[in-house]
């Protein structure tokens, strides 16, 4: 656990710093809204695109890895809906909270993957997160949206992470070289993405007494304990080994994504409850990820 804690410490220190800055120094919500938009629309798409362009060729293993990640996400969705009545009797409000059981914080994932396995880990985690963004969005938007299939498709086709994933995968498949000046520019944007993203996660943390509600702890159990076990079982069953196995389990163990709050706000869900769940999974993952990373090493 000591090695795992050493890995998560720098990234969770950035989260704590973001929380302190948001409450003591940069207290204007508009500033952090701007940071979130910058990361979401510019920095993180650049990081995803560059990671996928430089991603190692996975061959036949990629099918099993992406398939296992998809099954893990769907398992979180299914387990959450099995407990829907304990979470919230209203379907849309429950759906907005259940998304915290299967959505994943890509910023933390990319940061930890890089520390655990260097550039190869970052590239593989980028490919995993990028390929699972459409699925997570389909499940979340589809379960909350009142606009039907058309609204879901429109949300996917305008998602910057989905677009960056498709563009990076297509560029990688074409085997085209990335011009050095462009690579340098994307590299500098990528370097800023993780730090700014983690500061934004800290700024969004919300703490209050509603953490004691059983429904909240059901979500935490599914996201941080049940899904890593599902991923481990799939890796054993499908023969996924080495770096791919490490990244699959790390992906499954990530806390909930801060973007879940935005989606809940826009689609009429319980946004305050979602903010608390994001905070709770993030804080609890400092312990669970320490254990899991120490084991993976």
Of 4-8, 34-38, 80-84, 94-98, minimum mean pLDDT range: 4-8
Question: What 8-state DSSP symbol labels residue 206?
Answer: -
pLDDT of residue 59 exceeding 80? no
The per-residue pLDDT for range 246-278, each reduced to its tens digit, is 999 999 999 988 778 767 766 677 877 887 888
pLDDT of residue 123 exceeding 60? yes
Percent of the chain with pLDDT over 70: 87
Asked whether 260 and 278 are in contact (CB, 8 A), the reply is yes
Name, in order, each residue with C-beta under 8 angstroms of 288's C-beta and a sequence gap of 6 or more.
Answer: 224, 225, 228, 253
pLDDT of residue 142: 76
Q: Which long-range contacts (CB under 8 A, 24 or more apart) does 179-187 make?
A: 183/50, 186/46, 186/47, 186/49, 186/50, 187/50
3-state SS, 11-71, equals: HHHHHHHHHHHHHHHCCCHHHHHHHHHHHHHHHHHHHHHHHHHCCCCCCCHHHHHHHHHHH
pLDDT of residue 252: 96
> The dihedral of CA 165, 259, 96, 284: what is its sign?
positive
pLDDT of residue 186: 93
- Give the confidence band of 49 by pLDDT, cuts at 50, 70, 90: confident
pLDDT of residue 276: 81
Instruction: From residue 175, give the alpha-carbon distance in Å to each of 37, 54, 162, 163.
Output: 31, 10, 20, 19
> The dihedral of CA 172, 120, 224, 18: what is its sign?
negative
Tokens standing for residue 186: 């994307």
Average pLDDT, integer, range 215-238:
92
pLDDT of residue 193: 82
The verdict on pTM exceeding 0.75 is yes
pLDDT of residue 60 exceeding 60? no
Average pLDDT, integer, range 185-205:
83
pLDDT of residue 225 exceeding 90? yes
Domains, in order of start, for the chain: 2-296 (1.20.1530.20)
**Cα-flanking dihedrals φ and ψ of residue 5, to 5°?**
-65, -40
User: 116-146: buried (b, 16+ CB within 10 Å) or exposed (e) per residue?
Assistant: bbeebbbbbbbbbbbbbbbbbbbbbbebbbe
pLDDT of residue 190 exceeding 60? yes
pLDDT of residue 13: 84
pLDDT of residue 9 exceeding 60? yes
pLDDT of residue 4 exceeding 70? no
Average pLDDT, integer, range 8-22:
83
pLDDT of residue 151: 65
Exposed, middle or buried, 291 (CB in 10 Å: 0-12/13-18/19+)?
middle
Average pLDDT, integer, range 127-141:
81
Mean residue pLDDT of the chain comes to: 82
Asked whether 260 and 272 are in contact (CB, 8 A), the reply is no
pLDDT of residue 220 exceeding 60? yes
């Amino acid at each position: 656990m000591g090695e795992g804690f050493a890995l998560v410490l720098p990234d969770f220190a950035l989260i704590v710093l973001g929380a302190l800055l948001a409450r003591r120094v940069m207290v204007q919500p508009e500033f952090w809204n701007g940071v979130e938009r910058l990361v979401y629309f510019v920095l993180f798409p650049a990081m995803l695109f560059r990671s996928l362009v430089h991603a190692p060729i996975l061959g036949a293993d990629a099918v099993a890895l992406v398939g296992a990640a998809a099954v893990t996400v769907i398992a979180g969705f299914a387990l959450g809906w099995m407990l829907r009545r304990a979470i919230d009797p209203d379907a849309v409000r429950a759906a907005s909270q259940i998304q915290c059981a299967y959505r994943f914080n890509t910023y933390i994932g990319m940061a930890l993957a890089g520390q655990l396995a260097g550039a190869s880990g970052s590239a593989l985690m980028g490919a995993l997160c990028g390929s699972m963004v459409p699925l997570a969005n389909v499940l979340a938007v589809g379960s909350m949206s009142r606009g039907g299939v058309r609204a879901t498709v429109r949300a996917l086709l305008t998602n910057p992470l989905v677009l960056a994933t498709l563009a990076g995968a297509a560029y990688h498949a074409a085997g085209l070289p990335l011009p050095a000046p462009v690579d340098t520019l994307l590299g500098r944007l990528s370097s800023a993405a993780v730090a700014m993203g983690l500061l934004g996660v800290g700024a969004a943390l919300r703490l209050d007494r509603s953490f004691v509600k059983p429904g909240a702890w059901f979500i935490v159990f599914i996201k941080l304990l049940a899904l890593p076990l599902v991923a481990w079982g799939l890796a054993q069953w499908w023969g996924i080994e080495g770096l791919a196995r490490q990244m699959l389990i790390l992906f499954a163990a990530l806390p909930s994504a801060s973007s879940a709050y935005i989606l809940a706000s826009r689609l009429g869900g319980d946004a305050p409850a979602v903010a608390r769940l994001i905070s709770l999974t993030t804080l609890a993952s400092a312990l669970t990820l320490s254990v899991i990373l120490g084991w993976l090493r």
